[in-house]
Chains A and B, each alone.
Chain A
Amino acid sequence: MNFDIIAPAALCAAMLSACATPISDAEAERAAVGMLKASFKPQGQAGVDRLNQDEVQALCSRYPNGLPKDLAEKLEKTQLATIRYPASGKLMGDWREGERIAQSGVGKQFNDDPKGPSGGNCYACHRLSPRELSFGTIGPSLYQFGKQRGTGDAVQRYAYGKIYNSEAFSACSNMPRFGHNGILTEEQIAHLVALLLDPDSPVNK
């Protein structure tokens, strides 16, 4: 992806005469933000405030090829501190519920019912149960995730934490921060942990 950033410059070299980049990178960033805010309108549950970036979003947008190591470590540390485990201490729910959540892609879109529960849409990016042929590959396969790792406390806490805030473990991950950003409830995340870890879950068959 380095190529992308270089491309306009390479183009300039090739077209010496008429090709000065109109504005600097920082100016382009400001122009893009201004343009975005003028180009969208509130709809349903999605206000234009959704275009405001938090620290993670701003940093990850600025470094599309990956954060420098020091920034990445710092970001992971601050995000790790955001993870809230359930007061009940129960990290594993029902894998059947988890499967339903993993299949559902609704929630938080401007045309979605804001009162209805959101899905996790896990199958969009991950292989889970082998019964589902239609799975994506943006994320790694999670087939036999629990079979390989067991159901120990540490594994449960990792799985819960990763779903709650993926940025805590991998800066600028493509995976949404389901707990941190209020997409899924504590209970829903626990159901997904069960889908991943429960020996009876089809994921581990």
Chain B
Amino acid sequence: MRIDRLPAMMLAALLPCFVAAQQDTQKEIERYRQLLQDGNPSELFEARGAEHWKAKRGPKNTSLEQCDLGLGAGVVKGAYVRLPRYFADSDKVEDLESRLVTCMVALQGLTPEEAKRRPYSGPGQPSMMADLVAWIASESRGMKIAPPQSHPKERLAYQTGEKIFFYRAGTHDFACATCHGEDNKRIRLQDLPNLTNAGDAQRAFGSWPAYRVSQGEVRSMQWRLYDCFRQQRFPEMQFTSDASVALTMFLAKRAEGGTFDAPAIKR
């Protein structure tokens, strides 16, 4: 059996030819990602989300089926790729999560705090919000990303979102742009999308929400931003906060015209 270790030792001896080794590493990581595509556990979350949408809940004992995600009451198909957007009833620009909170409050009679109680799932603790987001996003699969920019508040969200993207702060001087402002960079072995570049932004925005195999959970765009800010050494981003929605608008707009292909499966 010991013979089987030889190839690894030979590989180690060859490492100084690091260009070749690096390409091999990248190729194998790519192969790893390919091998995962076969079965995406996000389906399990999406199935729960579809049930939550129909389930009666809250003091008003009502489902979310009449929730207007921007394309009319109850229209889910294609809603995700046209968010964030301005809603007259709340007089705000909302992304999917903030819109769901608005609907849970208006239709089901929950308080905003109740609606935001468990925005992200954890081991053994599923999140109704995360499941809903997984399902609603899946109903836009294959469609073009097209966030509206016709209302002044939508344009304002884009403009402030852009400023937030470049905002350096905290102990490490990090901004979103620190890791996502240049082409062809990676952190450890993970490719970093340049979110100021349309192609990268389309692929990145079009792949969230995603099932993260490192966590065994489906993560939403809100979570993605929350955890990026954590690692930027910022304080805690509040769920569905204005800054998070504005930044999402900036990213969605940068990704405009891309094909939405989420929930994806990722490291």
- Asked if A and B form a direct contact in the complex, defined as CB atoms under 8 angstroms apart, the reply is yes
Would B150 and A18 count as touching, CB distance under 8 A?
yes
Would A60 and B188 count as touching, CB distance under 8 A?
no
- Between-chain CB contacts (< 8 Å), 19 pairs: A1-B181, A1-B196, A4-B196, A19-B149, A19-B155, A22-B159, A35-B160, A36-B164, A40-B237, A40-B241, A42-B236, A43-B236, A108-B233, A130-B15, A136-B185, A136-B187, A176-B172, A181-B171, A183-B171
Would B164 and A40 count as touching, CB distance under 8 A?
no
* Residues in chain B near residue A143, CB distance under 8 A: 18
* Residues in chain B near residue A53, CB distance under 8 A: 167-169
Known: A23-B159, A39-B244. A60 touches B164 (CB 8 A): no
* Residues in chain A near residue B242, CB distance under 8 A: 35, 38-39
A145 to chain B, nearest CB (A): 14
Would B236 and A46 count as touching, CB distance under 8 A?
yes
A36 to chain B, nearest CB (A): 5
Closest to A124 in B: B187
* CB-contacts of B232-256 with A (<8 A): 233-238, 241-244, 246
B94 interface contact, C-beta 8 A: no
Would A28 and B168 count as touching, CB distance under 8 A?
no
> Hey, what's the 0/1 contact readout for B178-212 against A, CB within 8 Å counting as 1?
11011011111100100010000000000000000
Would A38 and B235 count as touching, CB distance under 8 A?
no
B60 interface contact, C-beta 8 A: no
Dominant SS among interface residues on chain B: mixed
Closest to B189 in A: A134
* CB-contacts of A1-42 with B (<8 A): 1, 3-4, 8, 11, 18-19, 21-23, 28-29, 31-33, 35-36, 38-42
Return the contact of A50 from the options B179, B196, B233 (Cβ within 8 A): B233
Interface residues of A (CB under 8 A from B): 1, 3-4, 8, 11, 18-19, 21-23, 28-29, 31-33, 35-36, 38-43, 46-48, 50-53, 56-57, 60-61, 64, 108-111, 123-125, 127, 130-131, 133-138, 143, 167, 174, 176-177, 181-183
Would A41 and B173 count as touching, CB distance under 8 A?
no
Would A50 and B25 count as touching, CB distance under 8 A?
no
* Residues in chain A near residue B186, CB distance under 8 A: 136-138
Interface residues of B (CB under 8 A from A): 12, 15-16, 18, 21, 25, 149-150, 152-153, 155-156, 158-160, 162-164, 166-175, 177-179, 181-182, 184-189, 192, 196, 229-231, 233-238, 241-244, 246
Q: A124 CA to B185 CA in the complex, in Å?
A: 11
A127 to chain B, nearest CB (A): 8
B33 to chain A, nearest CB (A): 15
* Residues in chain A near residue B162, CB distance under 8 A: 4, 8, 28
* Residues in chain B near residue A47, CB distance under 8 A: 235
**Besides the known contacts A39-B241, A174-B178, 5 further A-B residue pairs in the complex with CB atoms under 8 A apart:** A22-B155, A43-B235, A50-B171, A108-B170, A136-B189
B162 to chain A, nearest CB (A): 7
* Residues in chain B near residue A33, CB distance under 8 A: 167
Interface centre among B16, B25, B236 (most CB of A within 10 A): B236
A32 to chain B, nearest CB (A): 4
A24 to chain B, nearest CB (A): 10
* Residues in chain A near residue B155, CB distance under 8 A: 19, 21-22
Closest to B240 in A: A39
* Residues in chain A near residue B171, CB distance under 8 A: 50, 108, 176, 181-183
Closest to A139 in B: B185
* Residues in chain B near residue A111, CB distance under 8 A: 230
Would B18 and A51 count as touching, CB distance under 8 A?
no
